[in-house]
Structure formats: C-alpha cells, structure tokens
C-alpha cells in the first residue's frame, strides 16, 4: 500500500504554487499525494512532475472535482464538458505518473432528486454511453478510472458498492474499477468490510476518512475489520486521507464543514497516517 494525502485538505484550486506542500507531505511520512485538479489548463504537468520527483513523493491518483457543468447524465453541454474534463485528467495522471483517476465521475456532486424509475434508467444509459469512450481512452493511456459511490446527501445516482459494480459491468471496460471511501460507506453500507470484499479485485483506490471527516482512527469506524478485508482482497493500492477543515473555505462549504472537527489539519495528517500505517500496513 501507498499512504497518501489529498490536497483538498491544504489548497484549492490546485495550482503550480500548490506544489510547495509536497516537501511537507514527504516530511510527515507520506508515500504519495492525491492531487485534486479543478482546472487542468491552470497547471503545468511537467512542473508538477518535477516537483513530485524533487520532493521524493509520488502521485497515487488524480481526483476530479465535479460541479454542475461536469455531469455525464446532465445537459448535452454538461456531458460534453465532463467528458473533455475527464480526458484531460487522464492525460495529466499519465504525466504525473499516477495510475488512477478517482472520484464520482458519473455526475455532478450535490445532484440529488427523487427521480422516476424511467428517468433514472435513461440517465443510467446516458452515463454508460458516455463512459465507454472515456474508458477506451484510459485503456490506451494505461490509467484506471476508479468510480466512487457517494452518500445519499451528495448524489442520488451511485451510493453503494453494488451499484458501482453494476455500472462497471454495463460499461464493460477493464479501465473502470472502484474507489471506496470510509466516510461514504459509513452512511450507505451495512458493513464496510463486506463492501470491500464485494469490490474484491476491482477495488483500485481507497479513501481512509474519519466517520466525521476528521482523523482516521479518532472515530467509531471498525478499522480492524477494514484492515482484515483489505488483506482478504489483497489490496495494494493507494490509501488516502481525504479529510476537510475550515482552512480551505470553498471546500469547507462544499463538504459542509461548519465547525472545527480536529485541532488542526496537520494533526489530521500526521496522527491519521500513524494510525493507518499501524492498522492497515
């Protein structure tokens, strides 16, 4: 496993200047960084890769940011914009040396409605149709797209590992796999360990978050059972802390962080990493 930290905790949007955090992440003991890219055109991939190498840290994944104008089941314009965005993330992941593009690639975050079955079925077909050429492109680039189920308050489309597996089966590409997140699973899955086992060999990326979005280990999640499940499926990919504080205002608002959950983001990173290495490695 490679233990990483998501840049959402420290900076957004990510720019060339944001690479100043890489040496700090390395000093804290992280193997890798998950780069959350909002605007691919606003960063220089060559500069990012140089700074990763200089800091002696890898990029385990590129994380997407899906607003209303990036929606594979949205308006034709939103679908086209999201497809173009995902292609750019795939290109940048390849340049960063990251094996995975992760996140809720299927829809805009925050879109949640009580859709009629017929409308939901049509949206599903639209997402499958849109993902097929994107996955073909990912295959050519040697990149995995890891689709992330979100909780019911952030999407009405894919909330569980079972739904993600159904999407993967319908798209039919070896480039499409699963990204699980303990925060979302804590809300949507009956048993997180069983969800991991159900994902099995298709698990390509993993977010280790506290049940309240705080420090992993400083919460009620059954981490020992998760560790056993990851071992059972022989998971050897990225394990990333994706937590949030009020320091990055735009992300705090998007993630509904209305209070100070932990003393500091440094504590989330360092104590979380120490716990995860002890528990999961």
Domain count of the chain? 1
pLDDT, tens digit (0-9, with 9 covering 90-100), for 62-73: 999 999 999 999
For the stretch 9-55, pLDDT in tens is: 999 999 999 999 999 999 999 999 999 999 999 999 999 999 999 99
Q: Which two tokens stand for residue 42?
A: 């606003």
**pTM as predicted:** 0.96
Mean per-residue pLDDT of the chain: 96
Query: Above 90 in pLDDT, residue 78?
Result: yes
What is the C-alpha to C-alpha distance for residues 124 and 118, in angstroms, rounded to an integer?
10
Q: Which domain holds residue 116?
A: 2-280
How many percent of the chain have pLDDT more than 70?
100
Q: What share of the chain in percent tops pLDDT 90?
A: 94
What per-residue confidence (pLDDT) applies to 248? 84
Burial bucket for residue 85 (CB in 10 Å: 0-12, 13-18, 19+) = buried
Segments in the chain forming alpha helices (H): 22-28, 45-55, 76-96, 117-141, 161-171, 182-188, 192-199, 223-232, 249-254, 265-280
The CATH code of the domain that includes 216 is: 3.20.20.150
Find where tokens 């299927």 sit.
106
The mean pLDDT value for 198-202 works out to 98
The pLDDT value recorded for residue 247 is: 86
**pLDDT, tens digit (0-9, with 9 covering 90-100), for 80-105:** 999 999 999 999 999 999 999 999 99
Q: What is the mean pLDDT of residues 164-176?
A: 98
pLDDT for 252 equals: 82
Which pLDDT value is given to residue 17?
97
Stretch 150-163: mean pLDDT: 98
With 90 as the cut, is the pLDDT of residue 254 above it? no
Classify 123 as helix, strand or coil.
helix
pLDDT at 281: 82
Looking up tokens 């994944």 gives 61
* Contact (Cβ atoms closer than 8 angstroms) between residue 255 and residue 244: yes
56, 62, 168, 210 from 202: Cα distances, Å: 29, 18, 9, 23
**Which residues are designated catalytic?**
148, 242
pLDDT at residue 44, rounded to an integer: 97
Alpha-carbon gap, residue 130 to 86, rounded angstroms: 11
- Tell me how crowded residue 120 is: count the other CB atoms within 10 A of its CB: 15
Residue 135 has pLDDT above 90, yes or no: yes
Distance, C-alpha 49 to centroid of its chain = 20
**SS3 label, residue 102:** strand
Tens digits of residue pLDDT in 211-245: 999 999 999 999 999 999 999 999 999 999 998 88
For position 20, what pLDDT does the model report? 98
- pLDDT tens digits, residue range 242-253? 988 888 888 888
Nearest partner of 44 among 91, 109, 99, 5, judged by Cα: 91
Whole-number pLDDT of residue 257: 86
The length of the chain is 281
What average pLDDT score do residues 128-147 get?
Answer: 98
Mean pLDDT of 109-124: 96
Identify the pLDDT of residue 126: 98
Q: What is the pLDDT of residue 256?
A: 87
């Amino acid at each position: 496993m490679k233990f990483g930290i998501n840049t959402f905790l420290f900076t957004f949007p990510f720019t060339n200047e944001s690479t100043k955090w890489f040496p700090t992440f390395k000093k804290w003991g992280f193997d890798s960084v998950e780069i959350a890219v909002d605007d691919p055109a606003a960063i220089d991939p060559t500069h990012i890769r140089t700074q990763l190498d200089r800091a002696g840290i890898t990029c385990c994944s590129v994380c997407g940011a899906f607003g209303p104008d990036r929606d594979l089941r949205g308006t034709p314009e939103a679908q086209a914009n999201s497809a173009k965005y995902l292609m750019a993330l795939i290109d940048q992941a390849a340049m960063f040396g990251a094996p995975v593009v992760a996140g809720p690639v299927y829809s805009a975050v925050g879109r949640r409605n009580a859709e009629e079955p017929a409308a939901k079925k049509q949206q599903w077909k639209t997402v499958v149709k849109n993902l097929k050429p994107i996955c073909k492109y990912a295959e050519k680039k040697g990149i995995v797209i890891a689709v992330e189920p979100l909780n019911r308050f952030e999407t009405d489309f894919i909330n569980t590992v079972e739904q993600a597996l159904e999407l993967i089966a319908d798209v039919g590409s070896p480039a499409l796999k699963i990204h699980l997140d303990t925060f979302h699973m804590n809300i949507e899955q009956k048993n997180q360990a069983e969800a991991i086992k159900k994902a099995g060999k298709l698990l390509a990326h993993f977010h280790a978050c506290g049940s309240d979005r705080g420090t992993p280990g400083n919460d009620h999640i059954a981490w020992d059972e998760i560790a056993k499940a990851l071992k059972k499926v022989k998971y050897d990919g990225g394990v990333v802390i994706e937590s949030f504080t009020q320091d990055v205002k735009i992300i705090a608002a998007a993630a509904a962080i209305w209070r100070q959950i932990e003393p500091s983001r440094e504590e989330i990173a360092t104590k979380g990493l120490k716990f995860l290495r002890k528990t999961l490695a």
